[in-house]
Amino acid sequence: MNPLYLLLFLISALIFMAYAVRYYIFSFVILSFDYTRLQRQHALELKKLDTENQRLVTVLIPAFKEFGVLERIINGVMHLEYSRLQVIVVNDGHIQDRGRSALILEELKEKYPNLFVIHRLNGGRGKSAALNDALPYAQGDFILFLDADYVPDPWLIRYLIPFFLVDEKCAAVQGFIEPHNNGLIPKVCKLERISGYCTELFARERLKLVTQLGGTTMMLRTDVIQKLQFSTRTLTEDTDLTFRLLINGFRVHYTTLGGSTEDAPTTLRAYWRQHHRWAYGHIQCALQHTIPILRSRLSLREKIDALFVLEVYFLPIITLLNLVILIVAPFDFVSWPYIVFGSSAPFFTVIFGALKFKQVRALKYLPGLMLFFPLNAFISLHALAQLFWNTVSRRELPWAHTPHGR
């Protein structure tokens, strides 16, 4: 093998295998815990702390041209098993949808007196800007953020609040997310969520590593988020906020008990737009936060895990690089064992998560998830190239909305 190919192969192989080992560890962590019983017992103990004196909670819902799902999300929020609620909806597409959302929201205001609506005439510039405009109106001690295409579990708030009461450094809690719609692409997305929320986030919570916010179904301390606000310089404000919280000495927790169902993308175009936005924004965060994380006061294992999280969208690109090198300059005595061991690891997180969460039927779509892997690798590569070009040409990539409820 050419020395240059060998060097590139060894470096990329080391990174690739490090991620693979991490995925295997996470998979076996969930096997080693009866976490359904463990977490329910823990949650019941935590809920007792907040039964006598409920804190005021603000529910904040950004909505850009979401007239097809507005009534569903607001009805879901109003039926949460929690009495002290302030509900704010930010209509961020008032002009773009020709007032259709505004008409629905004004009708719902008559039905629900505690519903407060903000109509942004200059909306459509991104979720972060819409949320930041609404933050000064939040009166609760905590803010529950929900995207408009989600439906929360009625007990969601009661499962999230206790984390703040037992951990004074807790600034945010993330709940689980599960797609509920049918079709091949939504089912592939469901397997992705099983891997990410049922296996990875749970394992990272149990191992006291870095828990990542998902942008929705998350609760934050009002005083903290009003001070930090959401960044408008990245397409993934949730990832950016996660690492700014960690750098500022706060903790983020995760629970599998309280969560929401979502409308996953149903077309390849919608899937591409959503995952491209995630890849582009995540790479932005990697470039912005890698050095600050290394300089932070996090423990060594937290820093290592933070780097794994930050650089994760480089992994598909590294995988492609490995495959190209092995095709161009085969290294036979390690190639096949290496490929099988490394490439199987992410699917173990899916399989073990599905088994633990009793989602075995979803595994019949596992071949579909495998077929989507090359697409996600290309999405990551495209996002990296586009970010490089936009940086050089000093352009900004506009925020891309994923359509729902059409």
216: domain CATH number is 3.90.550.10
Averaged confidence pLDDT in the chain: 88
Percentage of the chain surpassing pLDDT 70?
86
233 and 307 in a single domain? The answer is no
Residues with Cβ < 8 Å from 118, sequence gap 6 or more?
88, 89, 90, 91, 133, 134, 137
The pLDDT of residue 157 is 93
43 and 15 in a single domain? The answer is no
Q: What digits encode the pLDDT tens for the residues 365-375? A: 999 999 998 89
pLDDT above 70 for 78 = yes
209 and 125 in a single domain? The answer is yes
pLDDT above 60 for 406 = no
The pLDDT of residue 405 is 46
Instruction: Average the pLDDT over 184-213 and give the result.
Output: 95
Instruction: Average the pLDDT over 321-340 and give the result.
Output: 64
Domain that holds residue 72: 37-267
> In whole angstroms, what is the distance from residue 92 CA to residue 273 CA?
19
17 and 100 in a single domain? The answer is no
Instruction: Average the pLDDT over 28-52 and give the result.
Output: 65
pLDDT above 70 for 51 = no
179 and 263 in a single domain? The answer is yes
338 and 367 in a single domain? The answer is yes
86 and 234 in a single domain? The answer is yes
> In whole angstroms, what is the distance from residue 49 CA to residue 31 CA?
30
- The strand pairing partners of 173, in sequence order, are 219, 253
Confidence of residue 360 (pLDDT cuts 50, 70, 90): very high
Confidence of residue 32 (pLDDT cuts 50, 70, 90): confident
pLDDT above 70 for 337 = no
Whether 250 is in a domain gets the answer: yes
- Regarding pTM above 0.75, the answer is yes
Confidence of residue 122 (pLDDT cuts 50, 70, 90): confident
Confidence of residue 326 (pLDDT cuts 50, 70, 90): low
pLDDT above 80 for 89 = yes
Q: What digits encode the pLDDT tens for the residues 267-300? A: 999 999 999 999 999 999 999 999 999 999 999 9
pLDDT above 80 for 125 = no
Confidence of residue 319 (pLDDT cuts 50, 70, 90): confident
Whether 195 is in a domain gets the answer: yes
Greater confidence, 80 or 374? 80
Please, which contacts does 274-279 make with residues 24 or more away whose CB atoms are closer than 8 Å? 274/400, 274/402, 275/376, 275/379, 276/379, 276/382, 276/383, 276/400, 277/235, 277/236, 277/399, 277/400, 277/402, 278/235, 278/236, 278/313, 279/313, 279/379, 279/380, 279/382, 279/383, 279/384
The pLDDT of residue 83 is 86
Whether 167 is in a domain gets the answer: yes
Whether 285 is in a domain gets the answer: no
27 and 169 in a single domain? The answer is no
Instruction: Average the pLDDT over 247-251 and give the result.
Output: 97
222 and 363 in a single domain? The answer is no
239 and 382 in a single domain? The answer is no
Considering its fold, how many domains does the chain have in total?
2
200 and 53 in a single domain? The answer is yes
Confidence of residue 52 (pLDDT cuts 50, 70, 90): low
pLDDT above 90 for 215 = yes
The pLDDT of residue 207 is 93
Whether 231 is in a domain gets the answer: yes
Greater confidence, 202 or 338? 202
Tokens of 271: 């899937």
197 and 305 in a single domain? The answer is no
pLDDT above 80 for 41 = no
